[in-house]
Chain A
Amino acid sequence: MSSEPIERRVSYIGDRLRGAKCTICGREYFNVRHYCGVCGRSSIGKMACLDLFYEKGILEVCTAIREPTNRFRGLNSYIYGIVSFHDGDIKVPGRLTDLILDEEDIEPSALEGKEVVPRIRRRYAVERSEIVPTISLAFTLADEYYPYQRFEPKEPREKAEKPGIVGYGVYTSRFRIKEEGLERTVPFIDEDAITASVEAGKLALIHAGVDPHLVKKVYVGSESNPYAVKPIASKVAQVLELGVKLPGELQEVDAIDTQFACKAATSMFKDAAALAYYPFVETPYVMVIGADNAQAAPRNTAGGELDFFVGYGASAFIFGLYDVIAEVEAWYSCTSDTPDFWRRDTQEYPRHGGRFTGAPAYFKHVEKAAKGLMDKFGYKPSDFDYFVLHQPNPTFPVKAARSLGFKEEQYSLGLKVSKFGNTYSSSSPLGLAAVLDKAKPHQRILLVSYGSGAGSDAYVFITTPLIETKRERQKFTVEWQAENKFLKYVDYATYRRFKAGLELSS
């Protein structure tokens, strides 16, 4: 069920791939059913729902589509076939995504028998108003860029002293553009900020091992919501089944979008931690996602200077009071109304205020937030093992870190912009994830974000021994995504086409 008319029409496909199983005879069906053809009326009320969202299937047979229907025309060509689950008991039609068929010279029969993972992609329509951001019957190969990971939710066990990060996930696509040494993430043409949010959230749930029903609030920070009016967070909550399911397609969860350029997500870390700590209303876990398909005008037009740095991706963090891998020790924020970056309603691309960038914007806020936090809580740079900053380009964070008295070994691990570009709301969170991927227990991390407009949030995290215990559930690390033999580099024209998405390119 969802909010756009066309999706309601096809709502029986739903967001998650599902099947049904007769608990009497064991027969399985694609899609939800309330009756088993073999067992007849005795099966009424005895059909179990099979959720295939976290499973992997087999690409049984496939062929190349080179003349798609109008709906998929923007994809040009792709692999379409039949995916089977549970030894062929459930079969579904499916499309392989994340492939540029013409360039990658793939013979369909060579893909048959390979394992595939269901992916969250947009279903498309010809008209822009018909865009439906939800799961399509899209899959990718399980042993390539996006690895298959089991999901094993566990009961909350260890209560921490302070609330903190319980688990996290970073999602960027396999596509990159490489220009003058700077690699940037590029969405595939069927991806956007919504699909990245869901993918990152899914990875965070897998890493945290948290029952999604215990996540009672989700924040999604983004400046590139494909909708001018309509939240991303409601879709994330629905697809990830956050909160307890209520009758009538409702979920017991609060879902909200936030917006403040690149600090839309980090701003909410403190709210999430505080919410988990609030003793009078139980909120075991809170999810914060920063997601952007950062938009930029074409080069040589107003705002086109951003086109050299924008990236694509999402980072999701689950905060809570149980099984914490990094406690939140302190925070500090500062804000001023600075016109360094904006997009007025009806303008297609954001603009960038030349003389307000740099000194009066990034450096002023980042340095003040870092200093303010250290002064207020009595830290000095040498107290931190790692320093993660917002990274709009490779030079700003290094300059700011040095002027604050930090050394390269403190800030280099979390500095990922040269591999991913500026992923906006996901930028400093992605750096934080890169540090958490490697950090040992009892290490202290300083995180400082920056959002144009303008403001900065500073946080101190201290890792716990659980960070090592949970690491085996994090295959899709930042390093994996940065150094991966399945990365696919695209040219500038393809990058623009992919960023615009199917509805604009077709």
Chain B
Amino acid sequence: MSKYPAIIGYGRTKFGELYERSPEELIEEAGLKALDLAGVERKDLEYCFLSDYFLQLTNKIGLEEGFMSELLELHVPMEKCRSFSSALFNAYTAIMAGRCKLALVGGVEKLTDRWDKIRDDLMILEDPWSYYAGGSPEANHELMMRLYVKEYGLSQEEADELLEALAMIAVKNHHWATLNKEAHFHNKPITISEVLKARKKERKLLGLYDFAPISDGASVVILASPEVASKLCEDPVYVVGFGSSTDFISYPCRQGRAGFLATRLAAEVAFDMAKMEPENIGVAELYDQSTLLELIALEDLGFYGKGEGWAKVKESLESGNVYQLEGARELYVNTSGGRKADGNPLGASGGAMVIEVAKQLREEAEARQVSFTSKARAGLVVEHEGFGTKTYVHILSREVP
């Protein structure tokens, strides 16, 4: 039997602008789907870990636990975190510490209810200094892209190719979302020329199609102790690796800004714990708040060398929707559509990423199902809070190391 807690059920809502639905309704829908799939009753839950980035601000809901207690008719301990990955880690820790055997991990966000002020809110929370200097939510992505070009000495032609590679990432993620009925941009395929046109029209380096939207939605997974998982579930997905790390709040004040230090550090810990290497990963959900961040994550995680990712991404995506790695290996990234096309309801985003990887591993991903080689059989999730201020890396596997 495994020594790792496992995901035994999951559920999510459609992501998008869900203005007719309240946050409570969303988390209820996702929660009921997850309980049903796991085959457990609400009274079996011993702990709840919830996440939302700023429901307090968007919907004036501050005591999320009270709403959950009422929805579940439960009086068990509950805690609230900022991201789904953080909630999942806390549930993991509680189970490993023997505090509970079955926990609900749920995330919900309702960003569109505050659409007129949301960009200010996002930016001031990401970094007050950048915000007061005039930074917009897109600005630091553009600075990072310029610093990347400088750091690796890209020529003008190479920089143009990098921008084209980023456009291809958007096209790829929209493609995957056409196969995901729950995605924010389901059935909205785009072309490279549309991505480039949007940039040109807005006179920006990175345009409309380079950034994840703001979305509403909820996601829930049921995490069980190794014993309970093996009893209740025929096909549990184990959390075999976990790492998290932090960096300074202000991106401009950091060193080494052509990547995220927090991702590199978190990934090292997660791979160590899982006793795995990047080559063991067959599918990954990477936090693509912008197309650039997908590229940056590929490099920070070691799938591509520093400053080389853009060329490999371009080469790979010219011939398909999968990244070609060294040694004739393949890596599927953001088959959910990614945050770009699946949607980005902050507190629920990590849940969608975990669920997508779990579905792929359990071969339940239907039209999106990827094939695994004998070596690359695990899945990986990267989630950020802020602009690389915190990074969580989770490694999931049906097999136990």
CB pair B252–A93 under 8 Å, yes or no, is yes
CB pair B202–A67 under 8 Å, yes or no, is yes
Contact A69:B120 (CB < 8 A) given known A78-B134, A80-B139, A93-B135: yes
For A135, the closest partner residue in chain B by CB is B132
Query: Is A501 in the interface zone, CB < 8 Å from B?
Result: no
**What is the CB-to-nearest-CB distance from A385 to chain B, in angstroms, rounded to a whole number?**
47
What 6 A-B pairs have minimum CB-CB distances, sorted nearest first? A137-B133, A95-B134, A93-B133, A63-B142, A82-B252, A93-B252
For A90, the closest partner residue in chain B by CB is B253
Q: Which residues of B sit under 8 angstroms from A137, Cβ to Cβ?
A: 129, 132-134
Q: Which residues of B sit under 8 angstroms from A65, Cβ to Cβ?
A: 134-136, 139
Query: Is B161 in the interface zone, CB < 8 Å from A?
Result: no
Number of interface residues of B (CB under 8 A): 32
A67, A71, A75, A109: the one within 8 Å of B138 (CB): A67
B132, B143, B202, B250: the one within 8 Å of A63 (CB): B143
Q: How far is the CA of A78 from the CA of B133 in the complex (A)?
A: 11
B residues adjacent to A (C-beta < 8 A): 116-117, 119-120, 123, 127-139, 142-143, 146-147, 150, 202-205, 250-254
Q: How far is the CA of A93 from the CA of B129 in the complex (A)?
A: 7
CB pair A62–B143 under 8 Å, yes or no, is yes
CB pair B253–A63 under 8 Å, yes or no, is no
For A125, the closest partner residue in chain B by CB is B120
Q: How far is the CA of A479 from the CA of B355 in the complex (A)?
A: 68
A69, A91, A93, A123: the one within 8 Å of B119 (CB): A69
CB pair A92–B143 under 8 Å, yes or no, is no
Q: Which residues of A sit under 8 angstroms from B128, Cβ to Cβ?
A: 10, 13
B132, B138, B150, B202: the one within 8 Å of A10 (CB): B132
Contacting residues of chain A (58-95) with chain B, CB-CB under 8 angstroms: 61-72, 75, 78, 80-82, 91-95
Query: Is A428 in the interface zone, CB < 8 Å from B?
Result: no
7 of the cross-chain contacts (CB-CB < 8 Å) are A30-B250, A64-B204, A92-B133, A93-B127, A108-B146, A136-B132, A137-B133
CB pair B132–A123 under 8 Å, yes or no, is yes
Contact A109:B146 (CB < 8 A) given known A67-B136, A68-B136: yes
Q: Which residues of A sit under 8 angstroms from B251, Cβ to Cβ?
A: 93
B119, B135, B146: the one within 8 Å of A61 (CB): B146
**What is the CB-to-nearest-CB distance from B64 to chain A, in angstroms, rounded to a whole number?**
24
Interface of chain B: mostly helix, strand, loop or mixed: helix
**What is the CB-to-nearest-CB distance from A5 to chain B, in angstroms, rounded to a whole number?**
15
Contact flags A130-141 to B (C-beta < 8 A → 1, else 0):
000000111000
Contact A95:B131 (CB < 8 A) given known A63-B142, A70-B117: no
Contact A64:B147 (CB < 8 A) given known A80-B134, A80-B135, A94-B133: no
Most buried by B among A13, A72, A78, A108: A72
Q: Which residues of B sit under 8 angstroms from A81, Cβ to Cβ?
A: 143
CB pair A93–B130 under 8 Å, yes or no, is yes
Q: Which residues of A sit under 8 angstroms from B139, Cβ to Cβ?
A: 63, 65, 80
CB pair B150–A61 under 8 Å, yes or no, is yes
**What is the CB-to-nearest-CB distance from A295 to chain B, in angstroms, rounded to a whole number?**
26
**What is the CB-to-nearest-CB distance from B289 to chain A, in angstroms, rounded to a whole number?**
16
Q: Which residues of B sit under 8 angstroms from A30, Cβ to Cβ?
A: 250, 253
Contacting residues of chain A (35-68) with chain B, CB-CB under 8 angstroms: 61-68
Q: Which residues of B sit under 8 angstroms from A136, Cβ to Cβ?
A: 132-134
For B131, the closest partner residue in chain A by CB is A69
Q: How far is the CA of A108 from the CA of B204 in the complex (A)?
A: 11
Contacting residues of chain A (108-125) with chain B, CB-CB under 8 angstroms: 108-109, 112, 123
Most buried by A among B129, B138, B150: B129
For B146, the closest partner residue in chain A by CB is A61
Q: How far is the CA of A68 from the CA of B134 in the complex (A)?
A: 7
CB pair B203–A64 under 8 Å, yes or no, is yes
Most buried by B among A30, A68, A82, A92: A82
A61, A72, A94: the one within 8 Å of B147 (CB): A61
Q: Which residues of B sit under 8 angstroms from A93, Cβ to Cβ?
A: 127, 129-130, 133-135, 250-253
Q: How far is the CA of A91 from the CA of B250 in the complex (A)?
A: 10
Q: How far is the CA of A65 from the CA of B141 in the complex (A)?
A: 12
Q: Which residues of A sit under 8 angstroms from B143, Cβ to Cβ?
A: 61-63, 80-82
Contact A69:B132 (CB < 8 A) given known A62-B143, A82-B252, A91-B252: no
Q: Which residues of A sit under 8 angstroms from B127, Cβ to Cβ?
A: 93
Q: How far is the CA of A10 from the CA of B124 in the complex (A)?
A: 11
Contact A13:B136 (CB < 8 A) given known A62-B143, A69-B120: no
CB pair A63–B205 under 8 Å, yes or no, is yes
Most buried by B among A30, A67, A108: A67
Q: Which residues of A sit under 8 angstroms from B254, Cβ to Cβ?
A: 91
Q: Which residues of A sit under 8 angstroms from B134, Cβ to Cβ?
A: 65, 68, 72, 75, 78, 80, 93, 95, 136-137
**What is the CB-to-nearest-CB distance from B204 to chain A, in angstroms, rounded to a whole number?**
6
Q: Which residues of A sit under 8 angstroms from B204, Cβ to Cβ?
A: 64, 66-67
Q: Which residues of B sit under 8 angstroms from A112, Cβ to Cβ?
A: 146
Given A65-B134, A66-B204, A93-B252, 4 further pairs, Cβ under 8 A: A69-B131, A71-B131, A93-B251, A93-B253
CB pair A69–B136 under 8 Å, yes or no, is yes
